[in-house]
Chains A and B, each alone.
Chain A
Amino acid sequence: MDQNTGVGLVQQAAAISGSSAAVSDDLAAALFPKSDIILSDRMLSNGRQYLQSIVQDIETEICMIAVEDFGLTHDTIIEIGNSDRGHSFPLLQNAGLLETKTLLDHIFISVQRVELGARLLQKISQADLEAVLTRYLDNEDAAIADAAMASLVAQSRDNASPGSIHAHIASLPAEILFALVWPIVAAVQKLSGYDGPGLKKAAEKLLGRHDESAGTQSRARRLAQLVDQLAEDENHLHPLYDGLDLFLARLAKRSGLSVDQLILFTAEPNMVRLVLTMRAVDLPTDHAISIFGVLDGSGQLLTPASYNEIDGEKAAEMVSKWAGNKLFQDAQRQLNAGLAGFSD
């Protein structure tokens, strides 16, 4: 063992001694999960990959803007700007800056969306999926045609590398991008030792030019808002007919829930809340069963009897409750956490 290796081991040991203190946290999270959702290894891996790719994209973008638009000549910043690997991720991870609830929820939803997309592709080809949207291109309402075109463009961009979990900054909701940008700026400053205003200005510019409407989900929401008013589309609410994003956006609009909530429902055991939502918006039985079959990944079946026996009024009441203020719901859940017999 040469001296350098020795130094490396010493550093490693010091780092490990710090992190091992938290092993009980990891074990507790694995042993006593608080949700009913089972996180598979694939989802965890995808989640990590997704987060790393966002962080890397953002740091690269900020450094590029700082160099190109604000004339920064700092070597590390130039290197990060041209690099194809992430630099600030470990720093942010160790500092716990990536563990905010908003961010983690977003990652989970993004990963589950990819999962649903993969399930859908087992039932219909990508080409067919794209073709279903083209029917809106000729719609006599110019706004619908325009929104359909925008949605198709966004989808094509996302599907450039099918199956990939790679994130696009353009598809991030404003709040998520905002929540990530500033910790990343701080991390890059720390890594580079640069403390001038250039990075902050670059971050502001990145935020300022972010166009939410360019995101796939955003475009699907706009299209959903428009097509949901077409009477002839009344019975065609189906992922095979609309594609995943438009289907979710339309169901969200009709139920009053958010798309993120619906995606969360699809990860829950037996997708019970999704089934209830479909009942609440009065989807016909065969339709609901078909949708369940397309989105389910665990080989479960929804039978007509079990769907029909759900009381529509009760389902609507529950859905309306879920659609209420999220902070209130969270608080209510936490307050009732220790009380037996209280639930949604």
Chain B
Amino acid sequence: MPVTGNLAEPVRGQLDGDGRLVSADPPLLRLHLHCGGYEGGPLAVPQLSNLCRLSRQLNMNLSRPVQAADEDNLINMWVEIRLQPDDQYGNIGISIVDWKETPAPSTSSQASGRQRDFDRLNGRGSIRTDASLRIMALSMPGDLDAVEKYIGQSLLDIFDFVEPSKQSVLVESISERQPVRGQHVRQRNGKRSFYSLSGQPLIDNDGLFSGYRFALELDEEREAKENKDEASLPIKKSELISDSLFGSQLGPALRQPLGKIIANAETIGSRLEGPLRGDYSDYAKDIASAGRHLMDLVNDLSDLEAIQRTSFSVAADDIDLVDLAHRAAGLLAVKAADHQIRIDLPDKDKEMPIKGEFRRVLQVLVNLIGNAIRYSPDGSVIKLQVVSEGEFSAITVRDQGDGIAEDDQQRIFEKFERLGRSGDGGSGLGLFISRRLANAMDGSLTVESAVGKGSTFKLSLPSRAA
């Protein structure tokens, strides 16, 4: 059944005298690109290109059926090649009057003989060993890497025996130079496929035992059963977010375009490329701001995913809280200056050695100082202080903002909790992530606040000897 109907209008294209596709309707252009062509390049659909060449050679118009294919469909076309005799550039017109796409035939309907070939290709192999069962030659066509990996290794090192077969049975058979039949094994590494292993002892010309020749047959039933068993295992809640869904796939994919948007918007907004109407410059700044917000959100979501993994762990670096406070403040200096906010930092000479992951502690501090800037009035002061409390060392970040009501003080550490605020660039994830990070480093993150009296966030981490 055709998946797309007949197009009412012919699909048209034009070739110049050198065979380049100078214009084409979208379906033709798509096919051309799919066949490896590029815009304005030589027509890359071989069947069409041949027809055009024949037309030019005979100097005659042609009307013929053409079949082409893309990844999913067979495309049946009725093509009319029209020479343009009055055209001094030797252009050729292509008019495709019937463009019919049908799904490409399924490969599952291959002849059984052909299927057997594929089965052999995927499933069957052979192994030749020496007298000590070291692999001398092997053919496992479904696993091209196998040759490189397995030659020279002992057969017993590359396979695990699976029920009901036992390695001892095989070893016994081999020690008695007996044929081995139908042993169930599984590749120890790589594809971890299941095989049925059968072998015959080899006797050389002098009548001496020289090794074994094994045949390997893919054990599809076992494979299917095993896969089913694995699929039916309950998924742990923490594994619902894939190890790499956001952090290593979506995150980077989003960060790159966002980065470009922000950079371009900032360039426009700062009028680096020349004069611009004031309101346009403001729009660009809004775009950059929104982009940064999205970028923060992407980063937060990546972190959220990371910290919710059961396998999440942090390093225990030897770091200094004072040094990190200065670094975090430095990162936010511009933002603070925008609001005429001063960040009061502990003396640089003072040291507060702790155990924790450098990157994660810095992240927590940036979050705390960033929040303080966001919720403090312009012209105010944010004060950072370090205190040693025996086994723990702490840094506090105090702002002069509106403060947080006591009832809300625990809620702010919950996921996506914004206390009713919106439009300030926060995602509601920062404090949640920060507290989880602090906990992961065997520390804590707490808040003390009263409405109208500002807030003090305290990050405590295990001390270490200086």
Chain A residues near B (Cβ < 8 Å): 141-144, 147, 174-175, 177-178, 204, 207-213, 218, 221-222, 225-226, 229, 231, 253, 313, 316
Number of A-B contacts (CB under 8 A): 68
- Would you give the shortest CB distance from B112 to chain A, in whole angstroms? 8
**Residue contact B62 to A174, C-beta cutoff 8 Å:** yes
> Beyond A142-B6, A222-B78, A229-B76, is A210–B60 a contact (Cβ under 8 Å)?
yes
**Residue contact B102 to A229, C-beta cutoff 8 Å:** yes
Which residue in A143, A212, A231 is a CB contact (below 8 Å) of B97?
A143
Contacts A209-B61, A222-B78 known; list 13 others, CB within 8 Å. A141-B6, A142-B8, A143-B97, A143-B100, A147-B98, A174-B54, A175-B58, A207-B59, A210-B61, A222-B97, A225-B78, A229-B2, A313-B111
Alpha-carbon distance A229/B5, docked complex (angstroms): 11
**Residue contact B8 to A212, C-beta cutoff 8 Å:** no
**Residue contact B6 to A174, C-beta cutoff 8 Å:** no
B149 at the binding interface (Cβ < 8 Å): no
17 contacts between A and B (CB under 8 A): A147-B98, A174-B55, A204-B59, A207-B58, A207-B59, A207-B60, A208-B61, A208-B83, A208-B85, A211-B63, A212-B61, A212-B62, A213-B80, A225-B78, A226-B98, A229-B2, A313-B111
Residues on A with C-beta less than 8 A from B113 are: 313
Residues on B with C-beta less than 8 A from A229 are: 1-2, 76, 100, 102
**Residue contact B111 to A226, C-beta cutoff 8 Å:** no
Alpha-carbon distance A313/B98, docked complex (angstroms): 32
B192 at the binding interface (Cβ < 8 Å): no
**Docked complex: B338-396 residues within 8 A CB-CB of A:** none
Residues on A with C-beta less than 8 A from B5 are: 141
Residues on B with C-beta less than 8 A from A210 are: 60-61
Which residue in A208, A211, A222 is a CB contact (below 8 Å) of B65?
A222
Chain B residues near A (Cβ < 8 Å): 1-2, 5-6, 8, 54-55, 58-65, 76, 78, 80, 83, 85, 97-98, 100, 102, 111, 113
**Residue contact A213 to B63, C-beta cutoff 8 Å:** yes
Alpha-carbon distance A144/B400, docked complex (angstroms): 79
Alpha-carbon distance A223/B65, docked complex (angstroms): 10
Which residue in B6, B80, B83, B85 is a CB contact (below 8 Å) of A143?
B6
Alpha-carbon distance A222/B62, docked complex (angstroms): 13
- Would you give the shortest CB distance from B280 to chain A, in whole angstroms? 50
**Residue contact A208 to B59, C-beta cutoff 8 Å:** yes
Residues on A with C-beta less than 8 A from B63 are: 211-213, 218, 222
Which residue in B58, B78, B83, B102 is a CB contact (below 8 Å) of A178?
B58
- Would you give the shortest CB distance from B186 to chain A, in whole angstroms? 36
Alpha-carbon distance A253/B67, docked complex (angstroms): 11
Residues on A with C-beta less than 8 A from B60 are: 174, 177-178, 207-208, 210, 212
- Would you give the shortest CB distance from B5 to chain A, in whole angstroms? 7
Residue of B nearest to A313 (CB): B111
- Would you give the shortest CB distance from A74 to chain B, in whole angstroms? 24
- Would you give the shortest CB distance from A71 to chain B, in whole angstroms? 19
Alpha-carbon distance A148/B76, docked complex (angstroms): 17
Alpha-carbon distance A313/B111, docked complex (angstroms): 8
Residue of B nearest to A146 (CB): B97
Residues on A with C-beta less than 8 A from B100 are: 143, 225-226, 229
Alpha-carbon distance A204/B58, docked complex (angstroms): 10
Residue of A nearest to B81 (CB): A212
Residue of B nearest to A144 (CB): B6
Which residue in A143, A178, A207, A212 is a CB contact (below 8 Å) of B98?
A143
